[in-house]
Amino acid sequence: MSMSVMRQAPVIGITADVNQARHCLNRAYAARIEQAGGVPLVLPCVRACVERYLALCDGIVLTGGDDPIMSHWGVPMHPKATPIDPDRQAFELALLDALDAQRHIPVLGICLGMQLMGLHAGGTLDQHLPDTLPTADLHWNGTVHEITGEMGQGMIHSHHRQALVDAGRLRVVATAPDGVIEAVRADDRAFYIGVQWHPERTEHDALGLDLFRQLIAAARLSASGAAG
């Protein structure tokens, strides 16, 4: 296969998690991107490489993980929170800063990724839903529950104990029946969407694989515009 034919498939950068001395990633992210017609490229959290990563990628997926380190926003960490690796947070916030300057690059944030997008946009976070929400267990440990809104209606795969309370400069486009914010987007960008659920593990096509198809389509359109 020629390089020109291969390059027709958009390259989608996927942020890696950090587990002690290792970068790691659930294989479902890469599988879904490939299914949707993209080429998955895992991005280690090397802050100095942010601009070079964006030069290689036609789209970005911010993946799930542990909990944001809230001291960055002047808020004490909840004692039951599990903070993400500090290098990962610094890298992903630098990536979001760089994406603000390259607004044509499509972005899909998933779970932690959506939370970082919201915090980066001036939003606020409930750090421990069991403290404030009687139905918190409906969102934990792979539970399947319904969402509604502009993103559509269906059953999604949920695994989180934190959630945005407000989305800052982003707009809420889906919620759970108990009011938890499930999806946000930036209206002034072609594709800048965060979802609280895990579409890479959601069987409902419109809220699972189709989200990756939409990302790939936006990446293809953006790349063709940049080439023109």
pLDDT digits (tens, 9 = 90+) for 137-153: 999 999 999 999 999 99
Model's pTM, two decimal places?
A: 0.94
Choice among 45, 157, 200, 204 that is catalytic = 200
Q: Categorize the per-residue pLDDT at 225 as very low, low, confident or very high, splitting at 50, 70 and 90.
A: confident
pLDDT at 227: 53
Q: Categorize the per-residue pLDDT at 7 as very low, low, confident or very high, splitting at 50, 70 and 90.
A: low
The third-level CATH classification (topology) of the domain covering 3-227 is Rossmann fold (3.40.50)
Choice among 111, 120, 157, 160 that is catalytic = 111
pLDDT at 223: 84
Choice among 139, 157, 160, 198 that is catalytic = 198
Tell me: the pLDDT tens digits for 86-109? 999 999 999 999 999 999 999 999
Residue 3: is it exposed, middle or buried by C-beta count within 10 angstroms (0-12/13-18/19+)? exposed
Q: Name the percent of the chain in helix, strand, coil, to the closest 5.
A: 40, 25, 35
Mean pLDDT across 188-201: 97
Q: Is 120 a catalytic residue?
A: no
Report the alpha-carbon distance of residue 213 to residue 76 in Å, rounded: 38
Q: Is 92 a catalytic residue?
A: no
pLDDT at 228: 46
Expressed in angstroms, the distance from the first to the final Cα of the chain is 24
Tell me: the pLDDT tens digits for 149-166? 999 999 999 999 999 999
Q: Is 51 a catalytic residue?
A: no
Q: Categorize the per-residue pLDDT at 2 as very low, low, confident or very high, splitting at 50, 70 and 90.
A: very low
Q: Categorize the per-residue pLDDT at 3 as very low, low, confident or very high, splitting at 50, 70 and 90.
A: very low
